[in-house]
Structure 1
Amino acid sequence: MTDRPTATRRLPAVTTLTATAIVVADMIGVGVFTSLGFQARDVTSGFALVLLWVVGGGVALCGALCYAELATMFPRSGGEYNFLSHMYGPAVGFMAGWLSATVGFAAPVALAAMAFGRYAEAVLPGAPALPLGLVLIWIVTAIHMRGLRHSSVFQVAFTLLKLALIVVFIGVGFARGGGQPISFAPSAFDLTQIVSAGFAVSLVFVMYAYSGWNAATYIVGELRDPNRSLPRALLAGTGAVVVLYVALNAVFLYTTPLTELAGQVEVGLIAGRHVFGEAGGRLIGILICAGLIPTISAMMWIGPRVTVAMGEDVEPLQVFTRRSHTGVPTAAILLQCGVASLLLLTQSFEAVLEFVQFGLIACSFLTVLGLIKLRITRPDLPRPCRTWGYPFPPLVFLAVTLFMMVYLVAVRPFQSLAGLLLMLAGLVLYAVATVQRRHGA
């Protein structure tokens, strides 16, 4: 184990377009097609509901601005593992990497794969959800094992398909929908909605739907000209998703009675029937299934890069640094594929996600807090990309993230405690490895 992260050897370059596609694909999952139902139970104003997605998008952009500065300061793949190792020491970095490398990406992959199987039933009634999810994980894994060129083509093609389907749905929805008694113009009533507890809680669901805006930082070491590509990928990808999310939820509200959406999970299917008639459910099923393919691909791409970065620094994990002749980290990809498949088979991924959620949010909080720390303690460090509007973006992000952690502790105390224990387990493992290394020396 080394005290400082080592530089990643130069790999075939990933373009800005591919990095942007990874950000977009990682962000747009099933969350945007389900979250509105939970929000509509407590918030009934069209303006306030759309404002939720605008505010959530603003917070995501604040996070992207902060991460852009950090990733260009420390241009090494690994995301929070890399950042926190520089900010607080290798032990804290190992803790974040432990979360990501074990279940932080594998559990969302399993969840997306199961969602793919469930929505496939709307397209092909009677289709076996579990086998379909497993096959999808294995096919995506096989593509990523072939090399960066195949991964890039696959990622960009399916992300563009996802975007095209969503844009078509939005366009047809606005063209054929309407007639609902809801207004997107602000009114005096909206102020009470915006300052309500329901609005604050709904923002938590919105932020979950926006998660993934930091995806490109996990592969920054593979980017072509990271000082330019990374900020462009983060901001362009996140900005595009903000526009799509706001428009998509406006279409849901424009085409479907609010009473039908409130409390419902299958918001996309319900709105699809209002836009396309009885065939709407099948069309939305196709849209979501096609959209989940690049989502799984993005996570299968970036997750193993954390394991590789850890393997370069921690001797017992060096096996996961092995690459093929095309530069693919085969061992790390197979590890994540195996863990995701196991979670899918045991059907325990939702519980794992609940346990790990608090830890992942805490790592993002510590990362952005570290940006402020470095501005104060290390103003001399080169910063190829500085956070626009500093210090407001980090302060906004920290405030919302802190609220989310408090909310999780209040609503899910057992899961939050388990997530905290999982973080502590990472610190314990690092301490044990450090002791063994010293004894070996």
Structure 2
Amino acid sequence: MGCPSITGHGAGHTLDGMPVHHRARDKIYHSIMLLSLRLLQQVGLFSGICLIVGSMIGSGIFMSPRAVLEHTGAVGPCLSVWAAGGILSTLGALCYAELGTMIRQSGAEYSYLLEAFGPLTAYLFSWMSIVVLRPASAAVSALTIGEYAAAPFYQGCSPPVLVVKSLSAVSILLILLVNCQSVKLVSYVQNFFTVAKLSIIFVFTVAGIVLLAQGHTQNLTNAFEGASLLPGNLGLAFYSSLWAYDGWNQLNCITEELKDPSRNLPLAIFIGIPLVSVCYILVNIAYLTVMTPTEILQSPAVAVTFGDRVLYPFSWIVPLFVVLSSFGAANGYGLTGGRLTYRAGREGHMVKILSFISLKHHTPSPGVIFNGILSMFYILPADIDSLINYCSFAQWAFYGLTASALIVMRFTRKDMKRPFRVPLVIPAVLILMCGYLVLAPILEKPQWEYFYCIAFALSGLILYFPFVRCKLSCLKKVMRPLTIHLQLLMEVAPAEAAE
């Protein structure tokens, strides 16, 4: 996995020992010499908050309430799971705030696991996250965009699968183009969609408060009657609610591009996550003021049913805002997924071209494009619930491992500066909760998704030892010319060239 570099300047010089057309060579060479080729710190506090809120509020709050209620069996446990999901996300984010202010490199979990446990653990995380978890999460949001964008044109029936998937693919392409252009453009887009989704959340919340004031409280009485509190069912209920909360760690993925991370990272977390938690609980209460638990379970789209009953004749705004909300979440995954790929490529855990940066836009465009292509593949399966279970199982395993990295580094990296510290009881509680979320559903209701996930994670070892650890020379011979041609085609270069 050799890293091509540009050498020489006059006619007849080569790129990594291979003849290159002099105009293309000189264009890249001059660009590197004139620009500081690194990711730029362009994300401020407001944009950081919008990234967290915009990534968390996606399709989950409009789709997950039915699944949470189904697994808990009653209103009381359902609302409790939503509240507990907010608390658990906050605990995780506090741990990540310490790690992010201590290790100021992009990649979030990857950088922390690399520092605490070494390259093998970090590689397995990057293997799972880059190839499966992040593109699959983006695909779920894209599929939601496709379903809700097509729904107005097929009233009375379900949209054709081909139409849904085509619209999903178009949304991924748009996100890919935006993320390749500039971090500022991505921030503007994310800020706009965050304001849009908070607007519909505000409308739902106000409607719920008005209905509660009018006495619509019958669905909130006897809240724990008929509850199903089996460990496996609670675990699956948490998966569905935590899917809606997922995204609380997104800001850590772009630490290198965050202004004053020691201040802005913890502050964005303290503002963003409680805001989302309060919104989720209020929206679920609003749903229950209009629909009975049975009606929620029978509704294919809870938010749309709510809109039809409360916002008519303006109920058409609900599908529109679901599309906007899902697009904002997918945009967040596009932004952070490219940075994780870029960070892993820098360490040699992915092919080196993925660690290169655009000369013109200062974005990790190869990593962004690679993640977009993988997301396209994940829109092919039609079962969104399976994708959610598949992703949540692996994500919370790695969240627990990252929390343990914080504890380990308290003893092995005592000399590292920690602008923000959390009591060790917080990562300890997070580890216990992650262990429960990983083991309870497997023991209570085994599903093939979990075993596929474990098998795929272990399959990364097949590539790690020959290609990453031993660095087989045959791979270098194949990748070197391919990397050079891609470098010239995309006008990218390694960030190390500027140092």
> Is 1:105 aligned to residue 134 of structure 2?
yes
* 1:144 paired residue among 170, 179, 185: 179
Offset, 1:121: 2.9
* 1:84 paired residue among 101, 113, 118: 113
User: Matches of residues 226-245 of structure 1 in structure 2 within 5 Å?
Assistant: 226-245=261-280
User: Matches of residues 60-71 of structure 1 in structure 2 within 5 Å?
Assistant: 60-71=89-100
Q: Report what 1:5 is aligned to.
A: none
* 1:379–1:181 Cα change, 3 Å: same
8 Å contact kept, 1:173–1:275: no
1:352-410 per-residue CA deviation (whole Å, 9 max, x = no partner) reads: 654454332211110001112222333332211112xx233222222221111113423
* 2:61 paired residue among 20, 29, 32: 32
- Give the secondary-structure state (helix, strand or coil) at the position aligned to 2:414: coil
What are the ranges of 5 or more consecutive residues in structure 2 without an aligned counterpart? 3-36, 477-499
> Is 1:393 aligned to residue 457 of structure 2?
no
Distance in 2, Cα, partners of 1:98 & 1:115: 26
Q: Report what 1:165 is aligned to.
A: 200
User: Matches of residues 26-425 of structure 1 in structure 2 within 5 Å?
Assistant: 26-41=55-70, 43=72, 46-125=75-154, 128-176=163-211, 178-183=215-220, 190=224, 197=231, 199=234, 201-262=236-297, 264-277=299-312, 280=315, 282-314=316-348, 317-324=351-358, 325-345=360-380, 347=382, 354-387=389-422, 390-410=423-443, 411-425=445-459
Q: Which moved more, 1:264-273 or 1:155-164?
A: 264-273
8 Å contact kept, 2:57–2:325: yes
1:211-258 per-residue CA deviation (whole Å, 9 max, x = no partner) reads: 111111111111111111111222322111101101111111122122
Offset, 1:142: 1.3
8 Å contact kept, 2:74–2:293: no
- Give the secondary-structure state (helix, strand or coil) at the position aligned to 1:327: coil
1:104-155 per-residue CA deviation (whole Å, 9 max, x = no partner) reads: 2111112211111111233333773222211111112112221112111111
Offset, 1:323: 1.7
- Amino acid corresponding to residue 285 of structure 1 in structure 2: P
8 Å contact kept, 2:149–2:323: yes
Distance in 1, Cα, partners of 2:312 & 2:302: 15
Distance in 2, Cα, partners of 1:147 & 1:385: 30
Q: Which has the larger radius of gyration?
A: 2
If the length of structure 1 is used for normalisation, what is the TM-score? 0.89
- Matched pairs, number: 430
If the length of structure 2 is used for normalisation, what is the TM-score? 0.79
Distance in 1, Cα, partners of 2:292 & 2:385: 30
- Give the secondary-structure state (helix, strand or coil) at the position aligned to 1:29: coil
- Give the secondary-structure state (helix, strand or coil) at the position aligned to 2:420: coil
* 1:44–1:317 Cα change, 3 Å: closer
Offset, 1:85: 0.4
Distance in 2, Cα, partners of 1:195 & 1:44: 8
User: Matches of residues 14-33 of structure 1 in structure 2 within 5 Å?
Assistant: 14-33=43-62
8 Å contact kept, 2:466–2:472: no
* 1:261–1:66 Cα change, 3 Å: same
* 1:196–1:343 Cα change, 3 Å: closer
Offset, 1:334: 1.0
- Amino acid corresponding to residue 132 of structure 1 in structure 2: L
8 Å contact kept, 1:40–1:263: no
* 1:349–1:105 Cα change, 3 Å: farther
- Amino acid corresponding to residue 124 of structure 2 in structure 1: M
Q: Which moved more, 1:78-87 or 1:119-128?
A: 119-128
1:57-94 per-residue CA deviation (whole Å, 9 max, x = no partner) reads: 01110000001111111110001111100110011101
Distance in 1, Cα, partners of 2:54 & 2:247: 8
- Amino acid corresponding to residue 232 of structure 1 in structure 2: L
Distance in 2, Cα, partners of 1:260 & 1:308: 46
8 Å contact kept, 2:109–2:402: yes
- Give the secondary-structure state (helix, strand or coil) at the position aligned to 1:314: coil
Q: Which moved more, 1:220-229 or 1:101-110?
A: 101-110
Q: Which moved more, 1:359-368 or 1:298-307?
A: 359-368
Distance in 1, Cα, partners of 2:105 & 2:73: 45
- Amino acid corresponding to residue 141 of structure 1 in structure 2: L
Distance in 2, Cα, partners of 1:192 & 1:344: 36
8 Å contact kept, 2:196–2:321: no
8 Å contact kept, 1:182–1:253: yes
- Give the secondary-structure state (helix, strand or coil) at the position aligned to 1:323: strand
8 Å contact kept, 2:344–2:350: no
RMSD: 2.8
Q: Report what 2:33 is aligned to.
A: none
Distance in 1, Cα, partners of 2:43 & 2:461: 33
* 1:348–1:41 Cα change, 3 Å: closer
1:305-335 per-residue CA deviation (whole Å, 9 max, x = no partner) reads: 1110011110762101222222111111111
8 Å contact kept, 2:349–2:468: no
- Amino acid corresponding to residue 329 of structure 2 in structure 1: T
Distance in 1, Cα, partners of 2:385 & 2:131: 15
Q: Report what 2:471 is aligned to.
A: 437
- Give the secondary-structure state (helix, strand or coil) at the position aligned to 1:328: coil
Offset, 1:9: 4.1
Task: State, as a whole percentage, how many aligned pairs show the same letter.
Answer: 25
